[in-house]
Structure 1
């Protein structure tokens, strides 16, 4: 008799909303002595619904974390979002955020905006290659600082991808993710990564592209019965994970993901 088999689930980020003042005040009162600001709250709160739902591989953060990244970059005019000096990293706030998240779940991953997604205008290096090297080096330091504080790895989110960034930063503990990749972006991901996150509607294109690459992990975004059936007709079940990227109500989103991440056997 057929039975439901659950797929493992992976979070790729949550675009958390600002809290009401009473919730923020209660949270701050519990975290006195730390950098208990709005960004720390949103970072910490992005993780809780994933854990409550039972996501196999949770991930704090999202594109909203750009404010913290800019804050920790010295040599940056934050008001104008321009690089006006040598870029360095002050990682104190990153460490405190990491400690908050890992207090909920050890080795949890973290989602950050990819470097070019920050939209920083270079007014110091005046050379595309030098600027790209400076910001990718800064990201290496940012991610190393957070991993040293207990973060397990990073998802770098971008609606578009930059080959210089992905060629330098992609690795076992750094996964580039585009929520709605075009064909060129998807091919770029496959060139530098052995795993790819894809929606059901893009499966045919992804399968065609994958014939030229060695993909050993498929993250099916917001899976439904049809998508799971189609992907399991192409790859083994141990290569498939149900993935989620939440941009709405996080409590119901992650619970629904768990409910849908099943197949019959």
Structure 2
């Protein structure tokens, strides 16, 4: 008799809204002793619905976390979005954020904007190679600091992919994610990653592209029944994950993802 089998689920980030003052104040009063500020609140708020829904591999953070990253980087003029000095890292607050996240669940991943998505331009180094080395080096330090504090790995989000960043940072613990990739984006990601995240509408194109690469894991974003049926006609179930990236104000987003992440056997 046919039965529904659940797929593994994975979060790739959440973009929570800003809280009202009373909610923030109440949250801060409950989290004394850590860096209890607006960014920490949003980090916690991004994770809580994923845990409540039972996401297999949760991920705190999202593009909103750019404010925290800028806070940790010295040598910036944030008002002008420029680097005006040597890029260095003050990572103390990242340790605090990591403790906050891992107190909810061990080995949770964290989503950052990719370096390019910070929107910072160079007014100090005057050399492209030095600038990229400085920024990617700072990212390595920040991500290593958080992993040492218990974070499992990082998702780097950006719709405008940069190959130099991907080649410098992609790895087992660092996954580049484009929410709306085109074919060229998918090909670039497949060049450096053995797993790929793609929506239902791009699955056909992605499968065709994958013939030239070694893709062993498919993260299907917000999968519907047709998308699941299609990907399982090309891959084994243990190679398929239902992925989510929540950009809407909805307490049901992650629950709906879990409920829809099933196939018939």
Which band: TM-score by shorter chain? over 0.9
Which whole-Å CA distance do the structure 1 matches of 2:56 and 2:249 have between them? 19
Alignment partner, residue 120 of structure 1 = 120
Alignment partner, residue 3 of structure 2 = 3
Alignment partner, residue 240 of structure 1 = 240
Which whole-Å CA distance do the structure 2 matches of 1:149 and 1:89 have between them? 16
Alignment partner, residue 182 of structure 1 = 182
TM-score by length of 2: 0.99
User: Which blocks of at least 5 consecutive residues in structure 1 are unaligned?
Assistant: none
Q: Within the alignment, does 1:72 sit opposite 2:67 as a pair?
A: no
**Residue 132 and residue 169 in structure 1: after superposition, are their counterparts in 2 closer, same or farther (change >3 A)?**
same
Alignment partner, residue 24 of structure 1 = 24
Which whole-Å CA distance do the structure 2 matches of 1:208 and 1:135 have between them? 34
Q: Report how many aligned residue pairs link the two structures.
A: 265
What is the CA-CA distance between 1:33 and the residue it aligns to? 2.4
What is the CA-CA distance between 1:251 and the residue it aligns to? 2.0
Q: Does structure 2 retain, via aligned residues, the 8 Å contact 1:49–1:250? A: no
What is the CA-CA distance between 1:35 and the residue it aligns to? 1.4
Alignment partner, residue 90 of structure 1 = 90
- Residues 162-183 of structure 1: CA distance to partner in whole angstroms, max 9, x if unpaired? 1001001000000000000111
**Residue 51 and residue 250 in structure 1: after superposition, are their counterparts in 2 closer, same or farther (change >3 A)?**
farther
Structure 2 counterpart SS, 1:104: coil
- Residues 220-244 of structure 1: CA distance to partner in whole angstroms, max 9, x if unpaired? 0001100000000011111000000
Between 1:181-190 and 1:60-69, the stretch displaced more is 181-190
Q: Does structure 2 retain, via aligned residues, the 8 Å contact 1:197–1:220? A: yes
What is the CA-CA distance between 1:20 and the residue it aligns to? 1.6
Alignment partner, residue 212 of structure 2 = 212
Between 1:249-258 and 1:129-138, the stretch displaced more is 249-258
Root-mean-square deviation (CA), in Å? 0.7
What is the CA-CA distance between 1:249 and the residue it aligns to? 2.5
Q: Does structure 2 retain, via aligned residues, the 8 Å contact 1:14–1:250? A: no
What is the CA-CA distance between 1:250 and the residue it aligns to? 4.2
Moved segments of 4+, more than 2 Å: none
Q: Does structure 2 retain, via aligned residues, the 8 Å contact 1:186–1:206? A: yes
Q: Within the alignment, does 1:136 sit opposite 2:136 as a pair?
A: yes
- Residues 125-179 of structure 1: CA distance to partner in whole angstroms, max 9, x if unpaired? 0111111111000000010011111100000000121100100100000000000
What is the CA-CA distance between 1:83 and the residue it aligns to? 0.3
Q: Does structure 2 retain, via aligned residues, the 8 Å contact 1:136–1:165? A: yes
Alignment partner, residue 42 of structure 1 = 42
Alignment partner, residue 61 of structure 1 = 61
Q: Within the alignment, does 1:100 sit opposite 2:100 as a pair?
A: yes
Alignment partner, residue 51 of structure 2 = 51
User: Which blocks of at least 5 consecutive residues in structure 2 are unaligned?
Assistant: none
Which whole-Å CA distance do the structure 1 matches of 2:62 and 2:188 have between them? 21
- Residues 188-233 of structure 1: CA distance to partner in whole angstroms, max 9, x if unpaired? 1000000000001001110111000000000000011000000000
Which whole-Å CA distance do the structure 1 matches of 2:251 and 2:47 have between them? 10
TM-score by length of 1: 0.99
